[in-house]
Amino acid sequence: MKQAENKRADGGIWDTVKVIVQALLIALVVRTFLFQPFNIPSGSLIPTLLIGDYLFVSKYAYGYSRYSFPFGLPPFSGRVFGSEPQRGDVAVFKLPKDNSTDYIKRVIGLPGDTVQMMSGRLYINGKIVPREQLPDYKSQDLWGREVSVPRYMETLPNGVSHVVIEREGDTGYWDNTYAYKVPPGHYFMMGDNRDNSTDSRDENVVGFVPFENFVGRAEVIFFSVEEGASGWKFWEWPWTVRWSRLFTPVK
C-alpha cells in the first residue's frame, strides 16, 4: 500500500513538472514568434505612449531576425518572412550602436527618403508635412514643473495621422537639422515628443536603423500605471492604474 502511495506521489510530482515545462515552452514560443510585452520607461513618445504604459509588440509584423530570439539566437543575418515597416508605425528596435538596447520610436523616413526639420516643421522629400494645431497638452518642463505645450495632429505622406508635442515650441535643439538621406535597408525613427526624444536625428546615439534591428510593431496597451508607481503593487491599483488606457490600440 505504501509503495503504491509513493508511486502516486511521484507520478503527481512528475505531472506537475510536465505542466510547468509545457507552460514555459508555450510562453517562450508566444514571446519569440507572436507577442512580446514591453514597458515604457521614458517620455519620448508622449502623448502617444506614457511612462508606465505596458504594451504588446507583434513579433511577426516585420518577420524575424536574430534580434527576435532570446540572446540573439539563432545567429543568422538578415530577415526571414520579412514585411517592411510602414511610415507611421510605432516600432521597437535594437539600438544600432550596441545591438542590444531596446528603443521604441515612430517610423518617419523610409529607405531612400530625405528627412529634415526646419523651424520645428518636418519635411519629407522636400515637402512639408502638414499639421493641425490642437489644444495645448499638459506636460513638464526641464525642472519638472507643469506647463502647457503646443500639440499638433501631424499627417504623414501615406495618410497616417498622429499627435506630436513641441515642449520648446518650434525652437528646440533638434528643430533645425540638415537633410538626412536614409540609406537603403534603413529607417529614420523619431519620437512624438519632438523636443524630448533621442532618435535618428542624433546620429551619435541612434542614427539610421537597419531593417534587421526591428523587433516588432507596437499594437496595444494592455496595462498602465501612473509615472512613479509600481505595476506589481496590486493593492495600489485602484488609484495608480490608468484605467482609460487599458486595451487601447497604439496609433
- Fill in the DSSP letter of residue 218: E
**Rounded Cα distance, 223 and 39, in Å:** 9
8 Å CB contact between 67 and 59: no
Cell of 132: 493641425
Which one of 68, 94, 105, 139 is the catalytic residue?
A: 105
Write down the residue that cell numbers 538596447 correspond to. Answer: 101
Sign of CA dihedral 247, 221, 214, 87: positive
CB 217 within 8 A of CB 59: no
Which grid cell sits at 101? 538596447
Alpha helices in the chain (DSSP H): 2-29, 237-240
Catalytic residue status for 44: yes
Check if 105 is active-site: yes
Handedness of CA 97, 163, 122, 62 (dihedral sign): positive
Catalytic residue chosen out of the listed positions 44, 68, 197, 224: 44
Contacts of 19 (CB under 8 A, 6+ apart): none
Cβ–Cβ < 8 Å for 164, 152: yes
Distance from C-alpha of 187 to C-alpha of 210, rounded to nearest angstrom:
6
CB 52 within 8 A of CB 40: yes
Alpha-carbon span 105 to 46, nearest angstrom: 11
* Residues belonging to the active site: 44, 105
